[in-house]
Chains A and B, each alone.
Chain A
Amino acid sequence: MEIIKVEGLRKTYIVGDVKVHALRKVDLTVNGGEFVSVMGSSGSGKSTLMNLIGCLDTPTSGTYALDGKQIDKLKKSQLSDIRNQKIGFVFQGFNLLARTSAIENVELPLLYDRRGRIKDPSGKAREALDRVGLLDRLDHEPSQLSGGQQQRVALARALVNEPAIILADEPTGNLDSRTSIEVMKVLQELNEQGITILLVTHEEDIAAYSKRIVRLRDGIKIEDKPVSHVRSAEKDLMEMKDINNGLNGQGYVEE
C-alpha cells in the first residue's frame, strides 16, 4: 500500500529577485511498513521535502498523495487536520511544550482532533508513553528529563494519534551517540510493529538503521536503494554494554 506518493514535486522560493530551486521534480513513493532515510548535505532540499511531505508547506508544482488522499490542493485548515490525523512529527530539538508534563505533551494532538472519537485522551497518552518505555515519567516536565527521554516523549506524541507515517527530522541531531542508538532502537521497534517511518538525517551511521536510503543533492534525487545490511540498534546497544563490562572486568583483573 502506498503511504506517500510524490510525483514531479517542485518547490521554488523567491528570495529578493533570485529564484531558489529547493526541489526540482522529485518523485518518491513510500509503502506501508517501510523505514526510509532521506539523506543529503545541507541545502540539498531534504528539509524542504520533509516540510512538503509533512503538510507544513505546499509545493510550487507536482502532486502529492498521502495515505491515498490527494493533498496538494487542500486549504490551510484541512492541512492542519491532515497533520493531526495522519502524521506524527519528531524534531531535532524535541519541541515539547515547556513546563508541561510528559503526559500532557503527549495528549496534545488528541485535544486538537476534531473527529471527536477519543473518549479517554490521558489513557491513550499513557499507552503511547508505555510504548516508548516512559511509563515511570508521566508527570515529569521536559526540564526534568534527559535528551533521550525528551525525544522519546516526542515519539510518544507522534504515535498517539495512530498516524499513517512518522516523520523524523534529524531526531538524533541533539543527542550523544549512545542515546542516538537508543532512540533508533525505539524507531526500529515501532517499525517492526508496522509503523511507516521517514527519517531525515545527514549521518550515515544513523541511516544504516533504516531499510532504504534516498539521497538528494541540489534538489534532485540522485540515489534510491535499499540498505543491504540493516544494522540492529538493539544488538549495537548490547555490544556497547558488553564492551563496557568487558573493559571494566579486564581492568579489575589486571590490577
Chain B
Amino acid sequence: MRTVNLLKVAYKSIIKNRMRSFLTMLGIIIGVGAVIALVAIGQGTSAEVESQVSALGSNLVMVMPGSSHMGGVSRGAGSINSLTLKDVEKLKSESEYIAEVSPLVRASGQVIALGKNWSSQTNGVDPNYLIIKDWEMENGTFFTKRDVRSRAKVAVLGKTVADELFEESDPIGQKIRVRNIPFKVIGILESKGSSMMGDQDDVILVPSTTALYRMTEGKNVSMIMVSAVNNEVIEEAQAEITSILRKSHKLKDEDSDDFRIRSQTEIIDRVSSVTGALTLLLGAIAAVSLLVGGIGIMNIMLVSVTERTKEIGIRLAIGARGRDVLIQFLIEAVLLSLVGGVIGIIFGILLANGASHFMNMGVVLNPFISFMAFSFSGAVGVFFGFYPARKAAAMDPIEALRYE
C-alpha cells in the first residue's frame, strides 16, 4: 500500500476516536513538554549562575587568608590575617602572569548622609580594582593613585547605596559619614545586579589606604584581588601567586599555605557541575513520563487492534499481507506519538516561557533538546506500537472475519 493511503487510514482511525486519541497523546504531550520545559529551566539556571560568576570580574583570582592551626585544631578560614600590603607590592613587582592587583580592605559600618542612614559594606581598594572587576562608572570619577597615597577621604558609591541615601538628588559632591569619618562622594558605580553572592551594588569603595589606616588597625588586608593576563594562564598565575606569597611569608617547605586562592573558573566549574547534574536529573524525571506515555500508546493500540479485528480480517481476505497490516498499525502508533510530540514541544516552549515570564526564571530553549524529544517520541511510538501491530499482522483471516 502506498504511504499516502497508509497515512490516510491512520489519520482516519485517529480522528474517529478523537477523545481517546487525545488522551493517549496526552501522555506523550506531557512527557515531551516536561522534558523541554525542565531542561530549558535547568540550562537557564546554569547560564544565569555562570553569567553572574563571570560578572565578578574577568580572569579573576582571589587570594584570601588561610586558616591557622592551634595544636591540631583548625580555626577556620580567615582565622589568621596573613595578607598585607607588602604582599600586594610583591605580587605587583614579581609576577609574570598577573595583570592587575588590588588589595581589598573590608570595613563595615553604618553610613549616614543627609539625615538618612544605611548599613553597608565599605571596601578599601586600589584604582585598578575597577579593571579587575570589569566594572564601569555611571557618574563622576573613581579615585586615583594619588588619593590612595594621600589616604584621601573620598568615596565611590554602589548603585544601591546611592539610591538609598540620596534617592532623587545628585550624590556627587555630597558628604557621607562612615563610622563618623566624613567622606566626599566623587562617583557612582554602574549597577552590576545581584548574584548568589548578594547585592553587588550595596557597597562603598574608598581608597585602600584610607580603609586600612583610618578605619581598621592598619595591618592586614582582607583579600587580594588579582586578574590574570588572560584566561589560559589562570592556573599558572595561581601557581605563581602561591610561590610569591610563600616566599613573602617565609614559609618552610613543610608548612602549609596560610592563604587560599580561588579563581573564577574554579567557581564556574563547581557551579556548572551542580547545575548540570540538576538538569540531568530533571531531564531524567521527564523522560520517565515520556516512557509512561509510550505505555499508554501500547495499551490503546492493543485495544484498537482487538476492536478492529473484523477490519483486519477483511483487509487480509482481500489480499493485504501481514506486513501491510503491521505497517498500518505501526504508522498509526507513530503518528499518535509524533503528533503528541509536536504538541508537546509547543506545550513545553509555552511552559518554559511562562516560567521565565511569571516566575522570573532564566530559560534557555535548546532546539537540539526539542529535536531529541521529538525523535524520542517517534521512537517510543515504534517501540510500543510494534507489539500490538505484530499481533494484528499475525491474525488468522478466517478467525478475524468471524469476529463480531
Contacts and interface: CB of A to CB of B under 8 A. Distances in A.
A81 B398 contact: no
Interface string B296-335: 0000000000000011011111111111100000000000
A108 interface: yes
Given A80-B320, A80-B321, A99-B16, A108 B398 contact: no
Contacts, number: 57
A76 B322 contact: yes
Contacts of A108: 315, 318
A57 interface: yes
Interface stretch (A82-90, A189-197, A217-225): A82-90
A109 interface: yes
Interface in B268-287: none
A157 B318 contact: yes
A51 B396 CA distance: 12
Contacts of B322: 76-77, 80
Interface residues of B, number: 22
A109 B314 contact: no
Given A57-B398, A77-B322, A91-B401, A97 B311 contact: yes
Given A95-B314, A97-B314, A99-B16, A113 B401 contact: no
Given A97-B314, A99-B16, A109 B319 contact: yes
A83 B323 contact: no
Contacts of A240: none
Interface string B370-397: 0000000000000000000000000001
Contacts of B317: 54, 56, 83, 89, 95
Contacts of B401: 91, 95
Nearest to B404: A93
Interface residues of A, number: 26
B1 interface: yes
A109 to B, nearest CB: 5
Contacts of B250: none
A247 interface: no
Given A95-B310, A95-B314, A85 B398 contact: no
Contact of A83 (B1, B319, B324): B319
A81 B318 CA distance: 9
B286 to A, nearest CB: 37
B328 to A, nearest CB: 11
B16 A81 contact: no
7 contacts: A76-B321, A80-B316, A80-B319, A83-B318, A85-B319, A99-B12, A112-B319
Interface of A: 51, 54, 56-57, 76-77, 80-81, 83-85, 89, 91, 95-100, 108-109, 111-113, 157, 161
